[in-house]
Structure 1
Amino acid sequence: MKHINLLAILFLISINYSLAQKKVEYVYPKAEFDKRVVEKLLDNTGTSSIKGTAMLKGKHVGYFMKVAIFPLTDYFSEYLELEKQFGNKGKKRASISPEALSYRIITKVDGNDGTFEFTNLKPGKYYIEGYLNVVKEKKSAYYVGQNSTTFEGSYISGPPIFQEFSYNKINGYYISGTTEIANDGEVATTIIKN
């Protein structure tokens, strides 16, 4: 009988917990995504390029992180405004359609100086972003027991025994920025940062 009562209590707690958790509501831009404009900007026939540097907390990103470039159309500008409004941790979050997400070019940061480059672009405004996971090893210890002995009939407790262990703490960072190519053949420079 005790097992049934315990199961019933656990079941009720799990129902209340699941009802308290609300699903994330994604908010999409109201502007129309015009794929013809984006295709023109990303058709790989331009003569311009963007050379950039990725910075995290004021230091060059020395990782081989991926960096994506999106044409900064009205649709994407509205998305960025929604992202500022809602952030990425609340119950409402800004998002773009899968079709809009598919129109991007991806490159990677090279070497330890955080540099990247996009080539064959046409004049226009662009949004560049990357996501970086920084892994730090942490150390801790947990209690495993205590030495003890008896001496002349008395129980003597020794020092506690701890077991050390390592674990990884992962922090994720978005780094981003915008830039504009004014003329065909231009090499624009930019810095993306958090």
Structure 2
Amino acid sequence: MARAGLTAERLTRAGAELADEVGFDQVTVSALARRFDVKVASLYSHLRSSQDLRTRIALLALEELADRAADALAGRSGKDALTALANVYRDYAREHPGRYAAAQLRLDPETAAGSAGVRHARMTRALLRGYDLAEPDRTHAVRLLGSVFHGYVSLELGGGFDHSAPDTQETWARILDALDVLLRDWPAP
């Protein structure tokens, strides 16, 4: 019999909070059971495995990120939209490092196709319409933006810039300026 009050959604949210506290790689059904002071077996009526829990957290994180991105992009274009989208990813990663790590989880193709990851791609492609890029350059630009956003955020979260000047916010602003210039004057093949 399921313990009163425990649902897959509640466990997923608690797992996401745990990921932010201890790191996504430390989230397991056992760790979640300890948090609720229940036996591990009692969670298996809601979750299939630790991998199922991790996938659910990844889907939650992707949904949260997509919602934030949609709000930030509304009514914006060009560099303003680029900056808004970049800041959504950076701010989310700083506020929710475990969830941000979860959003990077490789999903099986069927799960990925039904996830908010599809919304992320559509929003990024919509942003790039303001830069007048045709295919395949638009796909190259999507990959570039993802690489720069994730790379910078990962290095920053990992402490890679802690002991150097200039300030990381100044560097971030300069990177976004440079991306805007590159997207406006995309090199010919």
TM-score, with normalisation over the residues of structure 2?
0.27
TM-score, with normalisation over the residues of structure 1?
0.26
Pick 1 or 2: higher relative contact order, CA cutoff 8 A, min separation 6.
1
Richer in strand (by share): 1
Richer in helix (by share): 2
